[in-house]
Structure 1
Amino acid sequence: MKVEQIYTGCLAQGAYYIVSGNEAAIIDPLREVQPYLDRLEKDNVTLKYIFETHFHADFVSGHIDLSKKTGAPIVYGPTAEPSFDALVAEDNQIFEIGNAKIKVLHTPGHTMESSTYLLIDEEGKETAIFSGDTLFLGDVGRPDLAQKAANLTQEELAGLLYDSLTDKILPLSDDITVYPAHGAGSACGKNMQKETVDTLGNQKKTNYALNQQNREAFIEAVLDGLSAPPKYFGMNVAMNKGGYESFENVMNKGLNPLSPNDFETAAEETGALILDTRPAADFHKGFVPNAVNIGLKGDFAPWVGAMIVDVKQPLLLVTEPGTEQEAITRLSRVGFDNVIGYLDGSFESWKMSGKEVDEIKRISPEEFADQFNTDSKVIDVRKPTEYAAEHVNDAYSKPLDAISEWAGTVDEKEHFFLHCAGGYRSMIAASILNSRGIRNFTEVEGGFNGIKKTGKVPTTDFICQSKL
């Protein structure tokens, strides 16, 4: 028997590939399924089942395309109501893969259909759980996402999650391996560990949620400090539950090279958003007017979802040459399937055509330190917890994910400095502000990390974020 975790860092997402004998199962596959097909062919095995732990909110699963290409049925836990053919399992139902077995443990709480899959090896030993968003390493799934669909309060869902963990997970052996659907960096939890695999015994010791004294304490603990979920989550759930366009069609439509003239015409006629995926270091020096910069070399897809929100929004891409396919793939993972083309020759072709070019003023941390004084206005776009841990004295906390709310309050007559932790998020903010006509600012390269290293700018005392 073989178990392989296929972890995608930019989504903090784990898919799983299980082989026993000449049969295989895949759990929570990514949108692009060719890598799975290649594995199946290489191992000369047949895909017997595609297991979904729940209707995912933070990414679009590849279950539908994978089922169409292999003929393998899609399996959901009890109460699931997908809009396509699938096997809706019963609690404790067992599925055979070669000489191994997978047992369905219905574990509602994150969502009502959420299920944990218990792997039983060829010798009959319970060896691992694929816990989806029910149990993470260091945390549990947030119980506030499915309130509307379940017609329950977040407190009621949290109570169901407590019951699921207490009745179905905690009685299992300590030596069982825990394979979660997500790790640190995912918006599906608030306190996840950096590791992606652990034993259940260690989680019983170290996971705060598994160490609450009673149901009421658990509910209070898991609901405390939850930030608002990204607004695109509901649209991803709808796609996972209702179906979506094939990945091949999305790719073929998006791989449409456009000359500068055609690119400009398409932008004007379609109302497409121009998404520039180049690094911030290149973007600020020159870009197509009104373009929004979200660098491909970073947490690209989650920030696209958080900033653009509407998965149906038409997109025109400006990319580093040769990265068009990667950009379209990563956009599709969070449901942004409406890429209508990309700028052929990247920004250089636009610049060489003589068309209008825009820029963002960016300075080094040392330059910021030299220009900073007690009258300087500084906007910090990091998360509130990062800001609370340590920040430039008197800086304003304006988180990037709330820019739509605070951008309209900016006084355009008053110059301000803009920074994040390292420069990725602040350039996203800078490009959005610039596209809205707010230009009286200077973005700081290297962000707070660089500012702190200068030793010249007064900051608040550091507080460990784990204590916030």
Structure 2
Amino acid sequence: MNIKQFEYKPLAHYSYAIVSDGKMAVIDPERNPQQYYDFAKANNAEIVAVIETHPHADFVSSHFEIHKKTGATIYNSEKLGADYPHRSFDEGNSIELGDILLSARNTPGHSPDSITIIATQENKTVLFTGDTLFIGDVGRPDLREKAGNMKAKREELAEMMYETITSKFTDLPDDALIYPAHGAGSLCGKNLSDAASSTLGNERMGNWAFKKQTKQEFMDTILDGQPFIPHYFGFDVDTNKAGADDLKPSIDKIPFSENTTAEGLIVDMRDEATFKNGHLKGSFNIQAVSENSKFETWLGSIIKPEDKFTLVIDDKENKDSLLHRVAKIGYEKLLKEVITTSEENLATTKKLNIADFKKNPDSYTIVDIRNNSEIEEGKFFEKALSHPLNELRETAKNIPTDKPIVVHCAGGYRSAAGSSILEKILKDVTIYDLSDAVKDFQ
């Protein structure tokens, strides 16, 4: 069984290709389909199937683009309500891929339309579990909440997940390989392992969800302490249910200009030192200076799907790679233009006197922008005000402005964004970024 796992680290996303007898299926593909085409070519295979385990919330899938390019059939649960051409892939349905049999099993809980794909070949069994079963955890049940009785919805899905874990895997062998759609760092669960795969036997022994417990104990555990839900998650679910636009035409039409300025909502992806030395006034500093930075997550957590924004980049040579990153979450639709700035009329950020801050902390208002779950584990500063970064644009107005403000997170990446947000929203007050000096206080 020729299986290839593809990883996109910033979103901790795994996608897959399976090849048998010159036929290939792609499972949960990311926005850029080129790597799947390359793999098919390298294996002299034809892409005949694209399978979606559910409509993903944290990234935009290329299933519709692959279908249009290759003619491959898209398979997903009929419960998904997809708007693109597809075939039902629910319990009782199967696909023959060379000498591999792919069968579907409905495994609701993360979403009502989640499926697990069971691949069998002779005595080998492989499970592609999507966001249902992770390594060390299961998918969160609170991403499909709509207006109305939100608590009832999450409890309903938590109960579905209990039924899935206790009944949908019982007939499968311990040596069945498990390939999930996400690993550690994803917001689709709370305690994911950094392992890329496992076996069902190992999960039965080590995954909390498989331990003997009552339904209520299971539901209490899964509902407690889930991470925040970024603004873009609902937008991406809707995009994936409709089928995203083709990638290249979507990013090619975005205007680009050099040495210019902009107004309105501005996202500056440059490193914090460069940003603080000179930036367009009112810019948000969401850094994308490393391949593994959480740029996509924080872009979609700070910028809302109804916003329109300008992206400031460091160099023309990086334009295409950064547009690809924006498009991972479908936000190229919100992007007005991409620019580089001139050296004139730029704002600067004041540098905090660390020695004075250590000596006179009460002379400052300290704002902790870590997530609520992090703050619950302990504060670095007793009098710090809690304003999680994903909510900061809405809650900034509640921060007192009678003292200079010092913003901190856990390591410095998020505080660069948080301090820049406060610089834009709060007037007539000095904003400082504690940055990586926060480590002196941990």
Tell me which moved more, 191-200 or 47-56.
191-200
Query: What does 1:147-296 correspond to in 2, within 5 Å?
Result: 147-148=145-146, 153-254=153-254, 256-260=255-259, 263-264=260-261, 267-268=262-263, 271=264, 273-296=265-288
**Secondary structure at the counterpart of residue 311 of structure 2:** strand
Structure 1 residue 404: Cα displacement: 2.6
Q: Which residue of 1 aligns with 2:311?
A: 317
Structure 2 counterpart of 1:465? none
Q: Could you say if the C-alpha distance between residues 225 and 388 of structure 1 is closer, same or farther in structure 2, counting changes exceeding 3 Å?
A: closer
Tell me the equivalent position of 1:444. Answer: 434
Judged with a 3 Å threshold, the aligned counterparts in structure 2 of structure 1 residues 184 and 33 are, in CA distance, closer, same or farther, namely same
Letter in 1 for 2:71: G
Give the C-alpha shift of residue 341 in structure 1: 2.6
What is the SS of the residue equivalent to 1:446?
helix
* Runs (4+) off by over 3 Å: 147-152, 366-376
Distance 1:189 1:417 in 2: 31
Gap change, CA 1:89 and 1:425, over 3 Å in 2 = same
CA distance in 2, matches of 1:414, 1:393: 17
Partner of 2:386: 397
- 1:306-339 CA-partner distances (Å, limit 9, x unpaired): 10021x5333221121221111111111110233
Please state whether the residue corresponding to 1:202 is helix, strand or coil. helix
- Paired amino acid for 1:109: G
Query: Number of residue pairs matched?
Result: 433
Q: Structure 2: where are the runs of 5+ without partners?
A: none
Matched, 1:330 2:322: no
Match for 2:376 among 382, 388, 395? Answer: 388
TM-superposed CA distance for 1:369, in Å, is 5.4
Q: Cα distance, 1:228 vs. partner?
A: 4.0
Are the structure 2 counterparts of residues 369 and 175 from structure 1 closer, same or farther at C-alpha, using a change threshold of 3 Å? farther
3-state secondary structure, aligned to 1:237 = helix
1:141 equivalent in alignment to 2:142: no
Structure 2 CA distance for partners of 1:161 and 1:301, relative to 1, 3 Å: same
- In structure 2, the partner of 1:456 is none
The Cα of 1:425 is off from its aligned counterpart by 0.3
Q: CA deviation at 1:234?
A: 0.9
CA distances 1:70-95 after superposition (whole Å, capped 9, x unpaired): 11011002422111101112313221
What's 1:96 paired with? 96
1:16-66 per-position Cα deviation (integer Å, ceiling 9, x unaligned): 111112111110001111121111112110011101000111111111111
Q: Which residue of 1 aligns with 2:297?
A: 302
Tell me the CA shift for residue 170 of structure 1.
3.6
Name structure 1 gaps, 5 residues minimum. Answer: 453-468
Assess, with a 3 A threshold, how the Cα gap between structure 1 residues 399 and 408 changes in structure 2: closer, same or farther.
same
Contact map agreement 1:253 1:340 (CA 8 A) in 2? no
Instruction: State the partner residue of 2:347.
Output: 358
- One-letter amino acid matched to 2:369: V
SS at match of 1:29: coil
Decide whether aligned partners of structure 1 residues 219 and 132 sit closer, same or farther in structure 2, where only a CA change above 3 A counts. same
Matches of 1:4 and 1:150 in 2, distance apart? 42
Corresponding residue SS for 1:153: helix
2:61–2:244 contact (8 Å) kept in structure 1: no
1:149 is displaced (CA, Å) by 9.9
Shift of 1:148: 3.9
Preserved CA contact (<8 Å) 1:12 1:182: yes
If the length of structure 2 is used for normalisation, what is the TM-score? Answer: 0.92
1:378 is aligned to: 366
For residues 85-124 of structure 1, what are the alpha-carbon distances to aligned partners after superposition, in whole Å with 9 as ceiling and x for unaligned?
0111231322111111111011112212100001112x2x
Q: Which residue of 2 aligns with 1:118?
A: 118
Q: Partners of 1:5 and 1:447 in 2: how far apart? A: 38
Asked if 2 retains the 8 angstrom alpha-carbon contact of 1:80 and 1:88, the reply is: no
Cα distance in 2 between the residues matched to 1:333 and 1:87: 25
Q: Give the letter for the 2:171 counterpart.
A: P
Residue 408 of structure 1: aligned partner = 397
CA deviations on 1:150-203 (whole Å, 9 max, x unpaired) are 996221211111112222124321111111111111111111112121111111
Spell out, residue by residue over 1:416-457, the C-alpha distance to the aligned partner (whole angstroms, 9 max, x if none).
2111122110010111111224441211130522444xxxxx
Counterpart Cα distance in 2 of 1:360 and 1:92: 61
